[in-house]
Structure 1
Amino acid sequence: MNDILIIACVGLTTGITTVLFGFGGGFVVVPFVYQLLLRQPSLENNAMHIAVATSTAVMVFNSGWASDKNFKAGKLSMPIIFPLFWFIATGAILGSLISGILSESLVRVLFIIYMIVTILDCVFNKGFFVNTDKRYLSSLAIKGGGITIGCIASLLGVGGSVMTVPLLRRYGHAMKECVSSANPLSFPVALCGTVTYTINGWGKVPANAFMGFISLKILLVLVVFGLIGIFISQRYIPNIKDKWHARIYVLLLILVLISMLF
């Protein structure tokens, strides 16, 4: 019962962070689900793969729902999203294929390294905390950056928002634009990852209610409470000033890193 309450709280948090920071679920879901599964002897050997796979499946719902709401509200900037979307999707397919050959411990180490590099990039990138002149993304940023984001995000089940937001900030976009763009840009990663983890994990988890590496019970609770969190954020949480939006974003990344380390 306690585990269900924890997962419900995590789901609510993912919904709120999806709207406020573009986190489709990975940075909140992975550490908590990983810690819960480590306490179950039958699942501990696959704990990281299950956490990443379930997180990826959650993002299909969260990022899809948030993207639809932002689109209907006229908050999506298509010139920002496309053509970056297609290169992220290409990278997501590549990352999904690679994920099946990596060990449990290596995925966890890569997740931690990824978090450290991202935090350092935000802290030492002057344009992240202070607005700069808005510019179009370069061809290299769109192609090379898009494929890299899709590959790493799909591999680690984190949606890609933690790289798309800093990338767009480098080019002078406001946090609101970065966050609203991060959700649709996370969708191809989530979809490719979900299909791949279902296929690669089929029959490998010695427990019921699993679709490949995806825990259907955990997924259901996370999705239901995630949608509640999205509703609360869109209706009741006021706008955050740009500079504080950026600072809180980095603070959340640091907290997630700490949870994975300790």
Structure 2
Amino acid sequence: MFVLVLIGLLTGLTTVLFGFGGGFVTVPVVLWAEAGLGDSAAQVAVATSAAVMVVNAAVATSATSRTILRHLRDSRCLLALLGLGGIAGALLARLVPGAIIQWGFVTYLVGTIIDVILRPGFFRPTARRTIDCRQEFAIPTSLGLPIGASAAFLGVGGSVMAVPLLRRAGLGMGVATALANPMTLAISAPAALTFLADSGPGSPAGVALVGSVDVGAALALLLGALPVIVTLRRRPPRLPDRVHAVSYVLLLVAVTMTTMLAALR
């Protein structure tokens, strides 16, 4: 539990800096912590990740500038479809073998890393866009359902899919990652409720499961994360845009390697 609290500190940092909500860090860590559950470990990891992301993303969103959030003013349909996708992804995660979730997580991360490195527009946005709420949002409404379903199924939240799209629309990393938090909230809230209502894999000794969510692990992660989110939202770190983008990719690489090690155990 002490290790989970320390990892929670990292999830708080990634929530503020990268809009992850904790999903990328939480999934491999919970996979490691729940290895005794066997094939059910992946489902519990994704469910616990969703529960943690709801709280982290909600706190981060509440502290985000209203000027930035106005980007989403005309995106209600997109947010609704993200939520429906979150429910679909959570239901699907209950039906497939854990290995598919684990290796799907790794495969998606690898694909994202290759995409942001090889395709132009991530490290150096081609057209810098000002914060103007009258502009059409960068992510088409039609992508809401597949993004929400994929994110909830893999436990990654919305950042890994949203940030590259927002970057290629010309937004700076600070704005793109801030907008990822309300999108993560839209996906993770219905997904977490679905996981909590699930019958779950059964609670072995020492593990308190509500549905498929490991409540003890979620609370330990939040205990570490929330003070960091509150502190950094009040005094946000200022990173050069390119350094911010490179750090995002390096974190994806680190999480990919960690997840592969957890999957191979």
Question: TM-score if structure 2 supplies the norm length?
Answer: 0.89
The question of whether the paired residues in 2 share the 8 Å contact of 1:13 and 1:226 is answered with: yes
CA deviation after TM superposition for structure 1 residue 206, in Å: 3.2
Structure 1 residue 229 corresponds to structure 2 residue 225: no
Amino acid at match of 1:86: A
CA deviation after TM superposition for structure 1 residue 76, in Å: 2.6
The question of whether the paired residues in 2 share the 8 Å contact of 1:57 and 1:191 is answered with: yes
The question of whether the paired residues in 2 share the 8 Å contact of 1:22 and 1:183 is answered with: yes
Structure 1 residue 14 corresponds to structure 2 residue 6: no
Equivalent positions of 1:73-222 (< 5 A) are: 73-80=65-72, 82-83=75-76, 84-133=78-127, 134=129, 136-137=136-137, 141-202=139-200, 204-207=202-205, 209-222=208-221
The one-character-per-residue Cα deviations of 1:124-177 (angstroms, maximum 9, x if unpaired) are: 121000022237446xx4123222211101111111111100011111111111
CA distance in 2 between counterparts of 1:78 and 1:87 reads 19
CA distance in 1 between counterparts of 2:223 and 2:32 reads 21
The one-character-per-residue Cα deviations of 1:76-118 (angstroms, maximum 9, x if unpaired) are: 3323462432231232222222222111111111111111111
Identify the match of residue 67 of structure 1 among 61, 71, 90: 61
The question of whether the paired residues in 1 share the 8 Å contact of 2:86 and 2:152 is answered with: yes
CA distance in 2 between counterparts of 1:25 and 1:143 reads 25
What is the DSSP-based 3-state SS (H/G/I as helix, E as strand, rest coil) of the residue aligned with 2:43? Answer: helix
The question of whether the paired residues in 2 share the 8 Å contact of 1:14 and 1:24 is answered with: yes
CA distance in 2 between counterparts of 1:90 and 1:212 reads 19
CA distance in 1 between counterparts of 2:71 and 2:235 reads 29
The one-character-per-residue Cα deviations of 1:32-57 (angstroms, maximum 9, x if unpaired) are: 1111221x3xx233211111111110
What is the DSSP-based 3-state SS (H/G/I as helix, E as strand, rest coil) of the residue aligned with 1:221? Answer: helix
CA distance in 1 between counterparts of 2:209 and 2:44 reads 9
Question: TM-score if structure 1 supplies the norm length?
Answer: 0.89
Aligned residues: 252
The question of whether the paired residues in 1 share the 8 Å contact of 2:125 and 2:169 is answered with: no
Q: 1:80 to 1:120 in 2, by over 3 A?
A: farther
2:132 counterpart residue number? none
2:244 counterpart residue number? 245
Identify the match of residue 30 of structure 2 among 23, 33, 37: 33
Amino acid at match of 1:35: W
Between 1:90-99 and 1:21-30, the stretch displaced more is 90-99
Cα RMSD (Å) of the superposition? 1.8
Amino acid at match of 1:55: S
What is the DSSP-based 3-state SS (H/G/I as helix, E as strand, rest coil) of the residue aligned with 2:121? Answer: helix
What is the DSSP-based 3-state SS (H/G/I as helix, E as strand, rest coil) of the residue aligned with 1:8? Answer: helix
CA deviation after TM superposition for structure 1 residue 236, in Å: 4.8
Runs of 4+ aligned structure 1 residues displaced above 4 Å come to: none
Q: Percent same amino acid at aligned positions?
A: 35
The one-character-per-residue Cα deviations of 1:210-253 (angstroms, maximum 9, x if unpaired) are: 10111111111111211012123224552111111111000000
CA deviation after TM superposition for structure 1 residue 63, in Å: 0.1
Q: 1:103 to 1:16 in 2, by over 3 A?
A: same
CA distance in 1 between counterparts of 2:85 and 2:66 reads 28
Amino acid at match of 2:29: F
Amino acid at match of 1:11: G
CA distance in 2 between counterparts of 1:8 and 1:93 reads 28
What is the DSSP-based 3-state SS (H/G/I as helix, E as strand, rest coil) of the residue aligned with 2:171? Answer: coil
CA deviation after TM superposition for structure 1 residue 261, in Å: 1.2
1:257 counterpart residue number? 256
Amino acid at match of 1:156: L
CA distance in 2 between counterparts of 1:226 and 1:142 reads 31
The question of whether the paired residues in 2 share the 8 Å contact of 1:75 and 1:180 is answered with: no
